[in-house]
Amino acid sequence: MVRPAMSEEGHRPGPGSDESDHRGFANAAWAIPSYILSGMAVYGGLGWLLDRWLGTSALFPAGVLVGLALALYLVYHRYGRS
Amino acid sequence: MLAEAMVLAGDDKVTGSLGAVAYGLAAIGPGIGVGIIFGQGVQAIARQPELTNVIRQNMLLGFALTEALALIGFVVPFVHK
Amino acid sequence: MSAPHLLASGSGDEFEAPGLHIFDWGPLFPDGPAWLDWFTKPLLIVALAAIVVIAFSWKAFGNPKLVPRGVQNIGEIGYLFVRDQVARPMIGKDGDRWMPFLFSTFFFVLLMNLAGVVPVLQLPATSHIALPIVLALVVYVMMLFLSIKHQGLVGYFKNMMFPPGLPKALYIILAPIELLSNIILRPFTHAIRLFANMFAGHLLIAFFATVSWWFLAEKLTALGAGVGLVGFVMTIIMTAFEIFVQSLQAFIFVLLAASYIGGALHPEH
């Protein structure tokens, strides 16, 4: 494996590694669990209330999964695209 | 094997906060997964700094999916009583 | 529960793992006057941490010289660490303005955490949830105030709940998630993260220490000695690990505080 040692190209930090991007990345990494948890809480809670109202038992787990999917979509929308 | 398991289940009843045990077990896999994602991501950035942005995005997506599994494990004890 | 708990908790013949009672501390002077009953061990640790931070900062920065000598050197190393690792990456160029808050919070939390491995004290004060909650609440109120000041009341909720570029119908579904995540779960996880780490770490050390004390000192048998030896070694290993975790959690607490302040000052568009 021969590579041009210490070439300018390889050691220059990429265009996206400046300070503001680092901040965005750290914020995102801390915010993601919170998003997922709140998605599950909002729609799981909605399903739980509907369950109590209608006397069913399937809406709570369904709501949790729906909230999970929505939260993942939100994470994708916020952080997953360039 | 099945009979053995049934005998065990009959003899020693597991009591206590099973939900906590379940969450502990459910946290093992995502824990390993998150470690692999960030470890490999850091390694990838170290090898190719010019691709930092793309790698970070994919790290975040993989992290979100793995974390979702951990949080499902957190919720299941509430759902399945 | 006035006397310091010795490690062995069981009075009978059976080994008893340490439970939640190791976090309960009565008045420090049970025979003292009644008006001193509020003075407990966690409170002593908090007071000590505050006094040490104040005295250290006073000594280091009270009369700064251009060429630092003695304590000022250590103080400047700490200052540079917090500034370069926390304030500037998380808040940006105006991060230096927030250094007094971040610096004192970092060292306050660090000292309270490290009390968990200091002999005699041996209780991380942050393992009582009241302290992380109060600290997180301070950051939370500050974040709300700064957000509304810098973005306006409407602008703050608009930036938070309606990220641009989504189809209109999805906003109704996604806005509650954003609201709950930003307004309620943020301070909650901020406090819980510190509390849970300190709580679990203290319980873990206490468990291994109890195991080694019980099997090596109280009920020494040929069979139990091996278990006790493992407990003894694990106590040492877990103590070293706890020093690492305690420093890391203090760092993360300040990092998140700075990240919330930075998010309030410079909203993402």
CATH number, domain containing residue B33: 1.20.20.10
Mean pLDDT of C122-132: 92
Does the pLDDT of residue C11 top 60, yes or no? no
Q: Higher pLDDT residue, B37 or A18? A: B37
Q: With cut-offs at 50, 70 and 90, classify the pLDDT of residue B12.
A: low
Does the pLDDT of residue A8 top 50, yes or no? no
Instruction: Give the pLDDT confidence of C181-194 residue by residue, as tens digits.
Output: 989 999 999 999 99
Q: With cut-offs at 50, 70 and 90, classify the pLDDT of residue C160.
A: confident
Q: Mean of the per-residue pLDDT values for chain C?
A: 87
Q: Do B75 and A82 touch (CB under 8 A)?
A: no
How many domains, chain A? Answer: 1
In a domain, B40, yes or no: yes
Q: With cut-offs at 50, 70 and 90, classify the pLDDT of residue A82.
A: low
Percentage of residues in chain B having pLDDT higher than 70: 80
Instruction: Give the pLDDT confidence of A28-60 residue by residue, as tens digits.
Output: 888 899 999 999 999 999 999 999 999 988 899
**Torsion sign, CA atoms A65, A68, A74, A77:** negative
Q: Say if B and C touch: at least 3 Cβ pairs within 8 Å.
A: no
Annotate C170-205 with DSSP letters as a single string.
HHHHHHHHHHIIIIIIHHHHHHHHHHHHHHHHHHHH
Predicted pLDDT at B11: 52
Predicted pLDDT at C107: 95
Question: Count of CB atoms within 10 A of residue A73's CB?
Answer: 17
Query: Where in the sequence is the domain holding C235, given as residue range(s)?
Result: 20-265
In a domain, C241, yes or no: yes
* Residue B10 contacts A, CB cutoff 8 Å: no
At C107, give phi and psi (nearest 5°): -75, -30
Residues in B touching A9 (Cβ below 8 Å): 50
In a domain, B2, yes or no: no
Q: Higher pLDDT residue, A24 or C95? A: C95
Mean pLDDT of A10-14: 39
In a domain, B12, yes or no: no
Predicted pLDDT at A77: 87
Predicted pLDDT at C8: 44
Q: Distance between alpha carbon A8 and the CA centroid of its chain, in Å?
A: 35
Does the pLDDT of residue B69 top 80, yes or no? yes
Q: Distance between alpha carbon C220 and the CA centroid of its chain, in Å?
A: 37
Among the partner residues A20, A38, A73, nearest to C181 by beta-carbon distance = A38
Mean pLDDT of C49-69: 89
Residues in A touching B52 (Cβ below 8 Å): 13-14, 16-17, 21
Q: Do B68 and A25 touch (CB under 8 A)?
A: no
Mean pLDDT of C66-81: 89
Four-CA torsion C191, C261, C158, C179, nearest 10 degrees: 0
> Coil, strand or helix: which one is C27?
strand
Predicted pLDDT at C101: 94
Among the partner residues C88, C178, C259, nearest to A26 by beta-carbon distance = C259
* Residue A9 contacts B, CB cutoff 8 Å: yes
Query: Where in the sequence is the domain holding B26, given as residue range(s)?
Result: 17-79
Percentage of residues in chain C having pLDDT higher than 90: 51
Least confidently predicted of C41-45, C52-56, C217-221: C217-221
In a domain, A42, yes or no: yes
In a domain, B21, yes or no: yes
In a domain, A81, yes or no: yes
Query: Where in the sequence is the domain holding A77, given as residue range(s)?
Result: 30-82
The residue of chain A nearest to residue B79, with distances taken between CA atoms, is: A61
Q: Do C186 and A34 touch (CB under 8 A)?
A: yes
How many domains, chain C? Answer: 1
Q: Mean of the per-residue pLDDT values for chain B?
A: 83
Q: Do A44 and B68 touch (CB under 8 A)?
A: no
Q: Do C90 and A26 touch (CB under 8 A)?
A: yes
**Would you say the ipTM is above 0.85?**
no
Question: Which one, of C89, A19, A12, A79, lies nearest residue B48 by Cα?
Answer: A12
Q: With cut-offs at 50, 70 and 90, classify the pLDDT of residue A19.
A: low
Among the partner residues B56, B61, B71, nearest to A40 by beta-carbon distance = B71
Does the pLDDT of residue C212 top 50, yes or no? yes
Q: Which of residues 28-57 of B touch A (CB under 8 A)?
A: 49-54, 56-57
Predicted pLDDT at C1: 35
Least confidently predicted of A4-8, A23-27, C127-131: A4-8
* Residue B63 contacts A, CB cutoff 8 Å: yes
In a domain, C101, yes or no: yes
How many domains, chain B? Answer: 1
In a domain, B9, yes or no: no
Mean pLDDT of C217-245: 90
Predicted pLDDT at A18: 56
Chain A positions touching chain C (beta carbons under 8 Å):
19-20, 22-24, 26-27, 30-31, 33-35, 37-39, 41-42, 67, 70-71, 73-74, 77-78
Among the partner residues A20, A30, A42, nearest to C177 by beta-carbon distance = A42
Among the partner residues A19, A23, A42, nearest to C180 by beta-carbon distance = A42
